[in-house]
Amino acid sequence: MIDLYELYGVELYGAIPLSECVIAKPYLLERAGITSDGSALLILLPYFTHGGEGGNVSMYAAAEDYHAFCRELFSDLCARLSGICPDPKFAGYADHSPIHEVAAAAKAGLGVYGENGLLITREYSSFVFIAGIYTDYPAAIWPKIVSNVELRSTFEAKSCVKCGACRDACPTRAILGGGRIDAGKCLSAITQKKRLTDEDEAAVSAAEYVWGCDICQLACPYTAAARAAGTLETPLSYFKDKLIKTLDGKTLDELEADGGFDRRAFSWRGEAPIRRNINLRGMRAGDGEDHGDEHERDDTDGECEV
């Protein structure tokens, strides 16, 4: 039996048949040779750390890129699983996933579906990444090979208390409720755009973030409850080390010079949008900097398969 807590410090995980999931990218399963008759072990990776609070970068991006953490996790765990079950196929995905991860994790009993479209857990609120190990074996295999996997008899996604705190706190009124977000208004999405409208520029100028946004998560009563209970802090050292909670021109220059920029979650978009956002906030404060020409990278969609 594989003990995920002993090996990786992972505490929250659950299995679900793929037939209970919304398959958003079937080609990923096809590429791995996994059919819809298979299953997934969904793993939650908490990332909130008090050391990352108070900056201008969303908490998820304060530590080094979580995709790198997932790559190492998947490589080791899939090898162990294949050692126990040599016949079935195993593949790991995070972020760029074949399924709708939030809905599946809620169905698997790992948390509730938030009004802001995020998975909310009792221990860590919504400050969790969702990773998944997919296999062509049915879900009944997981309790036999991984310790403490409880397979539900019925799969139902429960919702949060729908108090409206996240909607009220959102500075751009992007949260529509019922897990629906107006992506065009979401401040996190706006800070990651390569080109901004005048309305976008006004939103960034007024924001406290130059990359991402945690406002709806911090306003959530589940976050307050987890903080009061003392469980909000991640136990995973990866997300507490090498923190950069505040970005400015000098910090970006240093990251570029020592190669550290490419190890950050915001690197996929390149440095130009972040420098622009820093300048927009600087102009609001009257201390903007001229960083010269912006360097652009390929305009990808931001998803990363690991």
Q: What is the mean pLDDT of residues 199-228?
A: 96
In whole angstroms, what separates CA 182 from the centre of its chain?
18
Return the pLDDT at 301.
Answer: 35
- What residues make up the domain containing 122? 1-150+159-296
- Are 164 and 115 a contacting pair, CB within 8 Å? yes
Site of tokens 């998975």: 119
Q: How confident is the model at residue 283 (pLDDT cuts 50, 70, 90)?
A: low
298 pLDDT higher than 90: no
Contacts of 254 (CB under 8 A, 6+ apart): 260
From the list 109, 118, 100, the residue with the least C-alpha distance to 177 is 118
Q: How confident is the model at residue 193 (pLDDT cuts 50, 70, 90)?
A: very high
**pLDDT, tens only, 12-65:** 999 999 999 999 999 999 999 998 899 999 999 999 999 999 999 999 999 999
147 pLDDT higher than 70: yes
Q: What is the mean pLDDT of residues 266-271?
A: 90
Return the pLDDT at 296.
Answer: 36
Q: What is the mean pLDDT of residues 214-221?
A: 97
Is 302 part of a structural domain of the chain? no
Q: What is the mean pLDDT of residues 99-109?
A: 96
Q: What is the mean pLDDT of residues 155-168?
A: 94
302 pLDDT higher than 60: no
Is 234 part of a structural domain of the chain? yes
Return the pLDDT at 88.
Answer: 79
206 pLDDT higher than 90: yes
Is 252 part of a structural domain of the chain? yes
Q: How confident is the model at residue 178 (pLDDT cuts 50, 70, 90)?
A: confident
Number of domains in the chain: 1
From the list 218, 117, 108, the residue with the least C-alpha distance to 162 is 117
What angle separates helix 249-258 from helix 272-285, to the nearest 10 degrees? 160
295 pLDDT higher than 60: no
Is 301 part of a structural domain of the chain? no
Site of tokens 């969609």: 301
Is 95 part of a structural domain of the chain? yes
Q: What is the mean pLDDT of residues 120-135?
A: 97
Q: What is the mean pLDDT of residues 268-297?
A: 68
Is 305 part of a structural domain of the chain? no
Give CA separation, 90 vs 69, 77, 165, 199, 291, in Å: 18, 9, 40, 45, 46
Is 178 part of a structural domain of the chain? yes
289 pLDDT higher than 70: no
Q: What is the mean pLDDT of residues 127-152?
A: 95
> Rounded to an integer, what distance in angstroms lies between the CA atom of residue 63 and that of residue 47?
9
182 pLDDT higher than 90: yes
> Rounded to an integer, what distance in angstroms lies between the CA atom of residue 186 and that of residue 198?
15
pTM comes to 0.89
288 pLDDT higher than 50: no
290 pLDDT higher than 70: no
At residue 119, φ and ψ (nearest 5 deg) are -80, 130
Is 62 part of a structural domain of the chain? yes
